[in-house]
A and B are shown apart, each in its own frame.
Chain A
Amino acid sequence: MTAGNLHTVARVLAAIAGTYALAWGFSALGAVAGARLGMAPAEATTLFGLLALLAVPAVALWALATRRLGRTWAVLAVGGVAMTLLARGMAP
């Protein structure tokens, strides 16, 4: 596999898996925070799922078009994992 191909694979993976990780972390953290602040759990889950979905196409395009793929990967992976862990820690 050439360097160019590898770069493309990393880019596509960032757009799919990286974006999904970020969306997962955001919606999990939002749901837990909403529930902690007194929203009904089903309401908080739905609200932050919808908000995440709104952002997903834009984030995926950013990952596909960005010039600095390494930074993008860092933001998506670190952001996704950190928010997911935080959500798990805060879960009731």
Chain B
Amino acid sequence: MSKQEKGKGGLRALLLWPHTWMGVTLGGLLVLIFFMGSLSVFAPEIDRWMMPATRLPAPTAPISLDATMRPLLEQLQAPALAQGGRAQGWMVEMPEERVPVAWLRVRTTQGMEQALVTADGRRLPPPQTLGASGFFYPLHYCLLLRPGFVGYWIVALAAVAMLAGLVSGVVVHARLFADFFTFRPRARPQRALLDLHNLLGVLALPFHLMITFTGVVIVLPIVLPSGVSVLYDGNLTRFYNEAVAAYDRPAAGVAAPLLPLDPLVVRAKAMWQEGGGKEARVAQVTVVHPGDAAAYVRVTRFNDDRVTLHNQPIVFDGVTGALLLRGAPGPVVAAQRFMAGLHVVHFDHWTLRWLYFLQGLAGAVLIATGLLYWLEKRRARHGQGLAGWRVVAATTCATTTGLVIATLAMMAANRLIPATLAGRMGEEVGVFFLVWVGTAVHAAVHLRRHPQPPWAGHAWAIAGLAALCVVANWVTTGDTPWRAWALDRHAVLGVDAGLAVTVLLAVAAARRLGAARRRQAAPVTGGQLLKGANNA
């Protein structure tokens, strides 16, 4: 951009360049983050769909840890202890309405063991899938790149660009109020795309600002560890322990019997309820050094009744029952925990969950329409012969429709590959990435011969795969809508309904795209005929 160009339009013109180029370079990544984040809102429901054995009714009776879970925990660590190992810790993730199964984890000097069990203590086979909570969710916040926190850094960079994009977008599109009421879907594509981009940008602006900011807030100590470096010598664990009041002490090396756990849970509940409020439910119970004289028990609460993510840990001595620690963060950390809770929407509010989901998808569409608008404008100015144009066009296609296709392919693979196959977990992930790369290659090849990415073809693929998912679910699990309704399996019903809506939308889009292409193609054919007639 030359100096003269910048001088003309003031701030608006100055900010157009960063707005455009942040979008073009990081737009695809941001679509991925927004799409996977939106799916993560319903991760427990998608998990039920992908793990049929866990489609269970919500636990109604209180669960006795001592009667149901403790024998299983001891059973899990028995082989390690028989080999001369020592028990280091137990963790029970309690079942709840949306996740009606418990995860038991046992750590010994010999390694980790885990088991999925029902609320009444029946052991379930391992699910052989990462599910939405183990795949879509981590893809959202760290791109599955955990070593060295690389993925966290990349996502945080994209999020900051999103924040800057939102702020600069408000300045660039100065007619905020007018944009709210302007959408001309039948205008030429460039105009309609920009209208939709502006409409979604304005409509969901508060949500997008909130969700992007709070998203970075969650990982802030990881991506900006400046205070940690000067006040904690860079030791992140020590910072977190102090911030959220964790407790630790070494094993004594002397055996001592562990107290029954249920009375400790009752005491923790009473402490949470001090000062009124409804009874809080237990989220996790952790026992560190079970069977040792220095054993301690940590109980955390479930936050379905409030926004904050702070789970008010209470730590008891596992042998004497004495209260060791009651976690209460300072005001700033409490505010940070509140913002984290605002982001992950664990509180029980179905209307808000749907609004999060829809506005998250709106974020993906906002970025995608921005990319498409740029592509159309570039084509108008430079033609599409440029290799750079085709790269951005293929990437845009792969990160929008291609991403949806890959997600649906993974869900279809989940239903079609038998869970009894030992490697299914990895195969599902393999299907996701192979199909995703495949859509990118397909788009790139298609663009060598056609003016547009293969939108219609991708839309048909989405419709076909989503329909396949629904049917495969009915056939492999027997959970037709009637049965799911009769058994109160609302999660299954909801995911199937979402897939059905996807089919309808994709078919409608594919038909419209096909009609538009025929309209565009018609005059060209006429012209060629005329030309042919003249030559003859």
Residues of A bordering B, CB below 8 Å: 15-16, 20, 23-25, 27-28, 30-32, 35, 40-50, 52-53, 56-58, 60-61, 64-65, 67, 84, 87-88, 91-92
Cβ contact within 8 Å between A53 and B242: no
Binary flags per residue of B213-238, CB closer than 8 Å to A gives 1, else 0: 10011001100101111111000000
Cβ contact within 8 Å between B226 and A27: yes
Binary flags per residue of B316-339, CB closer than 8 Å to A gives 1, else 0: 000000000000001111011000
Chain B positions within 8 Å of A23 at CB level = 224, 226
Within B424-478, the residues touching A (CB, 8 Å) are: none
The 5 closest A-B pairs by CB, nearest first: A45-B227, A31-B227, A64-B18, A28-B226, A42-B243
Chain B positions within 8 Å of A44 at CB level = 227, 231, 332
Cβ contact within 8 Å between A65 and B239: no
* Range, interface on chain B: 35 or more
| Alpha-carbon distance between A52 and B328 when the two chains are bound, in angstroms | 25
Cβ contact within 8 Å between B167 and A48: no
CB-defined A-B contacts under 8 Å, sample of 11:
A24-B224, A28-B229, A31-B226, A41-B242, A43-B330, A43-B331, A44-B332, A49-B221, A50-B217, A64-B17, A87-B226
Cβ contact within 8 Å between B332 and A32: no
Most chain A Cβ neighbours within 10 Å, of B161, B168, B232, B332: B332
Residues of B bordering A, CB below 8 Å: 3, 6, 11, 14-15, 17-18, 157, 160-161, 163-164, 167-168, 213, 216-217, 220-221, 224, 226-232, 239, 242-243, 330-333, 335-336
Cβ contact within 8 Å between A28 and B227: yes
| Alpha-carbon distance between A50 and B164 when the two chains are bound, in angstroms | 16
Partner of B232, one of A15, A41, A58, A65: A41
Chain A positions within 8 Å of B213 at CB level = 53
Chain B positions within 8 Å of A35 at CB level = 231
| Alpha-carbon distance between A87 and B157 when the two chains are bound, in angstroms | 24
| Alpha-carbon distance between A84 and B226 when the two chains are bound, in angstroms | 9
Chain B nearest CB, measured from A44 CB (Å):
7
| Alpha-carbon distance between A23 and B18 when the two chains are bound, in angstroms | 20
| Alpha-carbon distance between A50 and B231 when the two chains are bound, in angstroms | 16
By secondary structure, the A interface counts as helix
Cβ contact within 8 Å between A49 and B227: yes
Chain B nearest CB, measured from A2 CB (Å):
13
- With A42-B239, A46-B243, A61-B164 already in contact, 14 other A-B pairs whose C-beta atoms are closer than 8 Å: A23-B226, A24-B226, A27-B227, A30-B227, A42-B242, A42-B333, A43-B331, A43-B333, A46-B220, A50-B217, A52-B224, A52-B226, A60-B161, A60-B164
| Alpha-carbon distance between A56 and B156 when the two chains are bound, in angstroms | 12
Chain A positions within 8 Å of B3 at CB level = 67
Chain B positions within 8 Å of A30 at CB level = 227
Chain B nearest CB, measured from A76 CB (Å):
15
| Alpha-carbon distance between A49 and B220 when the two chains are bound, in angstroms | 7
Chain A nearest CB, measured from B491 CB (Å):
35
Partner of B336, one of A16, A27, A40, A50: A50
| Alpha-carbon distance between A57 and B169 when the two chains are bound, in angstroms | 12
Cβ contact within 8 Å between B330 and A42: yes
Chain A positions within 8 Å of B226 at CB level = 23-25, 27-28, 31, 49, 52, 84, 87
| Alpha-carbon distance between A46 and B220 when the two chains are bound, in angstroms | 8
| Alpha-carbon distance between A15 and B224 when the two chains are bound, in angstroms | 16
Cβ contact within 8 Å between B164 and A27: no
Chain A positions within 8 Å of B229 at CB level = 28
